Amino acid sequence: MASSFAGRPANVAKGLRRKLALGLAAPFAVASVLATAGITVAAPPPPAAPNFGPNVVILDPSMSVATIHSIVDPIDAAQIPAQFGDGRYEILFKPGVYGSSTDPLNLQIGYYTDVAGLGALPTDVTINGTIDVYNQCASGSCVALNNFWRSISNLTIDTAGKSGCQTGEFWATSQATSMRRVEVNGLTTLMDYCSGPSFASGGFIADSVFNNSTVVNGSQQQYFVRNSTLDGWSNAVWNQVFAGVANAPSQAFPTPPYTTLATNPESREKPFLYLDANGNYNVLVPAVQTNSSGPSWSTTQSAGRSIPISDFFVARPTDSVFAIDAALARGKNLILTPGLYNTRLPIVVSRPDTIVLGMGLATISPQNGTVPMIVGDVKGVEISDLIFDAGPKTSPALLTIGGPFASLLPSGPHGASDPADPTTLSDVYFRIGGAHLGKALAALVVNSNNVLLDNIWSWRADHGNPGTVGWTVNTADTGLLVTGNNVVATGLFVEHYQKNEVVWSGQNGKIVFFQNEMPYDPPSQAAWTEPDGTLGYPAIRVTNNVKAFQAWGIGSYSFFNQGVDIFSANAFVVPTTLAPGSVKDAFTIFLSTAASGGIQNVINGVGGSSTIANPDVVVPVVSYP
């Protein structure tokens, strides 16, 4: 305050300070007098919630279980079948206890729904009950293979309230899902074993604790868990990877196919909303961790920084990109509330340490072939909980970090990348086709150094609404292109692209867990052959300039379903000059006897083939070179 009195006469400054002090003290003095007189003074009401829009539901522990069901059940009914629908929802629980052992709260969640607690710690919100995802049944087959796009975070589940087969927490999900900062006390199953065949296809757990029961992996073909604590893990199918997880299964790949790292090379937990003691909304931005194990919280809050909600521009789908970019240029952080953002200009993030926080998997779709979001070559930007959905005209990329597009950004406070403050993408998903016609050359392009990718699903759709899927319809070459150095990917899913699915040209890169399906739909071998005549394209190509690169637990699958033999020479191509053992636990698999062709080698001509001769069998390379 002293600077506001600069240049004023001393007696004037003294008088202003005295009036200011009296003004601040008056309410407390009045309250003291009233209290002395025995008059009760009501506490001021808590601050009102920000206007997050109609698709953000905020629940209070004073609500009955019946009231919560009346609010949430209609959302679930709409979203559970809506794989390619337009609905987007966020369900938030204020700190407190919900349900009881005699009146439990058992909810289901569907597509494009995030459920989160608003406490500073996961233990600040307790659900006596479950938050479930079950199989979807069609034509007599019940599976979780397409249970995408949903999450649960920052709360505690004390399992209660179900009987018969479906007891405990059922989290039967596949790609583009996450369970973060969750404590479960009781049974957790990652498959819905109560209806068959119950197949599930991968998921992501981080920063979580599971007590009093082994986690049932069941039919999950692949799964990635990091920085968590288990009370046991039931089994493996093709590829289960654990990094920095207490009580994880021991390293055993390929029999059983467990890949276990004692520590996780790098992590930064996703920013999250929370209420402070005064009822104010804030966003906690956790600090980066290196070579870490276990959850970032136990009884104390994660290290990091807290940002008041007033420092955010809370955007609605009706807001223009001009308004969003103007707010970002003024130094605001950004919250994108649930909905569809159909854009014709890029959202520009040019300031270091900007937070871009999606809610309810807010979805950005370019309508005229632009790049819908461009991030400058700056440090510490964090982007989370978004879907980038390609539009009808071909975009060069859907999200770029640094590089040529960044040079087009307006001038502003730029700073070099920083390993202690990496730009981070958490639960960020890319889609080419499926919901509507979509085209792009690449999905995600990372040109900056020191970038962390945590749970990324980059998907050229293999199924969807009519007219949105086909070799010449939803076209896209590459799911991830990395030229930056010191880029780390933890939980990377890239599927069905038409050329090299991942191209990695940066130095000192790391991938911990990778899942890939090659494109199902090449119409002929000639249509899917490299210019030099090599059959097909690899799932990961590390270019020859790279001197250092590491990967653990990486798998590529084939299911060429056009009725003709299609082959890929290799699942993975890397420089032969990498240090010995740079790639650990790589494998291929041929998915179905209904398919043709296959993958001829795991990596650089090594490892044997996956074809109709050995369907559903892991073909491994434990260490390369």
Q: What is the maximum alpha-carbon separation in the chain?
A: 94
For residue 146, the Cα-to-chain-centroid distance in whole angstroms is 16
Q: How far apart are CA 337 and CA 128, in angstroms?
A: 28
User: Which two tokens mark 356?
Assistant: 């871009």
Q: Which residue has the tokens 């008041």?
A: 308
How do strand 258-261 and strand 239-246 relate by DSSP bridges?
Answer: parallel
Local structure of residue 382 (DSSP, 8 states)? E
DSSP string, 462-528: SS-STTS-STTTS--SEEEEE-SSS-EEEEEEEE--SS-SEEE-STTEEEEEEEEE--S--SSSGGG
Q: Specify whether the CB–CB gap between 401 and 375 falls below 8 A.
A: yes
Q: According to the 3-state scheme, what is the secondary structure of 210-261? A: EECCCEECCCECEEEEEEEECCCECCCCCEEEEEEEECCCCCCCCCCCEEEE
Report which residue type is found at 416: A
Q: How far is CA 159 from CA 69, 120, 213, 624, in A?
A: 17, 22, 11, 43
In whole angstroms, give the CA distance from residue 510 to residue 518: 21
**């991030």: which residue's tokens?**
375
Beta bridge pairs of residue 554:
514, 586
CB atoms within 10 A of CB 73: 12
Separation of alpha carbons 204 and 227, rounded Å? 11
How far apart are the C-alpha atoms of 569 and 151, rounded to whole Å?
37
DSSP 319: S
Judged by phi (left if over 0) then psi (alpha if -120 to 50, else beta), residue 23 lies in alpha
d(CA 602, CA 557): 10
CA separation for the pair 356, 163 (Å, rounded): 41
Give the whole-angstrom CA distance, residue 310 versus residue 464: 40
Residue 240's nearest CA partner among 263, 260, 264 is 260
Number of residues that make up the chain: 625
Identify any residues that bridge with 261 across adjacent strands, giving them in sequence order.
243
Instruction: Using alpha carbons, select from 279, 339, 344 the residue that is nearest to residue 50.
Output: 279
Phi then psi dihedrals of residue 506, to 5 deg = -85, 155
Bond into 46 cis (ω within 30): no
Residues catalogued as catalytic: 517
Question: CB–CB of 229/212 below 8 Å?
Answer: no
